[in-house]
């Protein structure tokens, strides 16, 4: 079955869809994006992602292409037309189409593209049960990583380096040796006495929506939670390390730079938080 994409007002076959060579997303990465998980045909953490999208657009002074209600209709229609039950939805909004000039064009409507694809949850569960390996890399990104822009070249290069070393994620480290986040995830460590640590939000990391909805789960559990920066060395010496994102949900990290984390197998905290997060996301999906 050919997939269906929404492109600037029309539902079109993905293999025939296209955007202008003058789209500012293409020319300048002058665009923002969002990724939702889909459970039982419904958007997970719908509001959280829409709120972050609003914020990204506002920070970059890109116009809203339509109201939130209209956008939700289109998102759900893309899910329906692609018959997605378990999957993910990708949305991208650029500053629109205009002859190449760095400064903002005037009176140009933003471009909106939405696509969806199925996800094999059984394969994802097997991946989580095995855990992933990570590498570390210096965080060479810009100073506004809190905005979810499509300008992801440092992430692309670092994740490719991870792949070439047999790892599934890169953990970015700032100039002082502290972990910022993953190439496409937020990062957490669990101390040997059961404290979960994750870096507090600032301009250096993306405010993950999975993180936003996982923190109350941790808070309401037996674990203690500290939003506190930790170094790469602390992470390597931790009982557990895990990452979160709309795509990977909660994923245990079993090694960093060939250094085994804990027992070298996914830990009980990461696995139970994965289950609790998925339960909650499935229960609240679409609302």
- Supply the residues annotated as catalytic: 148
| Other residues' Cβ atoms within 10 Å of the Cβ of residue 22 | 14
Pull the structure tokens for residue 208. Answer: 């993950």
Q: How many Cα neighbours within 13 Å face the side chain of 53?
A: 24
Single residue of 131, 210, 253, 277 touching ligand PDD by CB under 6 A: 210
Helix (H, G, I), strand (E, B) or coil at 128: helix
Nearer to ligand PDD, 27 or 245 (CB): 245
Total of chain residues touching ligand PDD, rule CB under 6 A: 14
Backbone angles phi, psi at 30, to 5 degrees: -90, 70
Single residue of 132, 162, 235, 245 touching ligand PDD by CB under 6 A: 245
Nearer to ligand PDD, 6 or 277 (CB): 277
Contacts of 64 (CB under 8 A, 6+ apart): 54, 57, 110
Least distance (Å) between residue 186 CB and ligand PDD: 5
211 binds ligand PDD (CB under 6 A): yes
Euclidean distance between CA atoms 29 and 12, whole angstroms: 23
Per CB under 6 A, which of residues 28..57 are in contact with ligand PDD? 35
Spell 184-195 as b/e; 16+ CB within 10 A means b.
Answer: bbbbbbbbeeee
Backbone angles phi, psi at 48, to 5 degrees: -55, -45
Nearer to ligand PDD, 87 or 208 (CB): 208
Least distance (Å) between residue 36 CB and ligand PDD: 8
Per-residue x/- mask for ligand PDD, residues 163 to 202, rule CB under 6 A? Answer: ------------------x--xxx----------------
Tell me which residues touch ligand PDD (CB under 6 A). 35, 181, 184-186, 206, 208-211, 244-247
């Amino acid at each position: 079955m050919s997939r269906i994409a929404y492109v600037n007002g029309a539902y079109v076959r993905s293999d025939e869809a296209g955007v202008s060579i003058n789209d500012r997303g293409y020319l300048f990465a002058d665009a923002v994006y969002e990724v939702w998980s889909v459970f039982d045909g419904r958007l997970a953490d719908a509001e959280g992602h829409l709120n972050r999208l609003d914020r990204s657009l506002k920070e970059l002074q890109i116009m809203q292409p339509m109201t939130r209600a209209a956008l939700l209709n289109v998102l759900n229609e893309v899910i329906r037309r692609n018959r997605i039950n378990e999957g993910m939805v990708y949305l991208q909004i650029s500053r629109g189409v205009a002859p190449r000039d760095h400064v903002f064009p005037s009176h140009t409507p933003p471009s909106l593209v939405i696509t969806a694809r199925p996800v094999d949850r059984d394969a994802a569960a097997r991946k989580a049960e095995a855990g992933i390996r990570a590498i570390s890399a210096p965080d060479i990104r810009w100073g506004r990583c809190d905005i979810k822009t499509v300008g992801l070249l440092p992430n692309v290069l670092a994740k490719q380096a991870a792949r070439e070393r047999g790892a599934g994620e890169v953990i970015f480290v700032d100039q002082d040796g502290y972990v910022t986040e993953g190439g496409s995830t937020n990062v957490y460590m669990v101390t040997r006495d059961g404290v979960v640590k994750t870096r507090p939000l600032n301009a250096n990391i993306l405010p993950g929506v999975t993180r936003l909805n996982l923190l109350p789960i941790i808070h309401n559990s037996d674990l203690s939670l500290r939003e506190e920066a930790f170094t790469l060395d602390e992470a390597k010496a931790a009982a557990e390390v895990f990452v979160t994102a709309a795509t990977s949900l909660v994923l245990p990290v079993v090694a960093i730079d060939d250094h085994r984390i804990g027992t070298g197998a996914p830990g009980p905290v990461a696995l139970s938080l994965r289950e609790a997060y998925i339960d909650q996301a499935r229960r609240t999906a679409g609302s």
